[in-house]
Amino acid sequence: MSPLSLIPLFFAVALVAPAAWALAKVYRRSHGVREITCPEANHFATIELDARHAVARHALGETDRRVKSCSLWPERQGCGQACVK
């Protein structure tokens, strides 16, 4: 394999690496459990954001996030998810 045949590979990596880095950063910010105060119920709640959804939406240029699980569910399952804003 000649060094010239590797040039397209280097270009591909140079294009993909920054996007992958940005998406990994969004995943890390959206991943995990956090404690919040529910704006609708005024109670403490433990929520987990849907990190895969956040990454997919970020790849499309949107900043949409949604709750994957909440300690106040199922009683408040249909809430507006104002806690993610």
Give the pTM.
0.71
Please report the pLDDT score of residue 34 as a whole number: 92
Please report the pLDDT score of residue 53 as a whole number: 93
pLDDT tens, position by position, 27-83: 999 999 999 998 888 889 999 999 999 999 998 888 888 899 999 888 888 888 888
Q: How many domains does the chain have?
A: 1
Is 55 part of a structural domain of the chain? yes
Please report the pLDDT score of residue 59 as a whole number: 87
What is the spatial distance between Cα 64 and Cα 21, in angstroms, rounded to a whole number?
19
How far CA 2 is from CA of 6, 7, 13, 19, in Å, comes to 7, 10, 18, 28
* Segments forming the whole domain that contains residue 44: 9-84
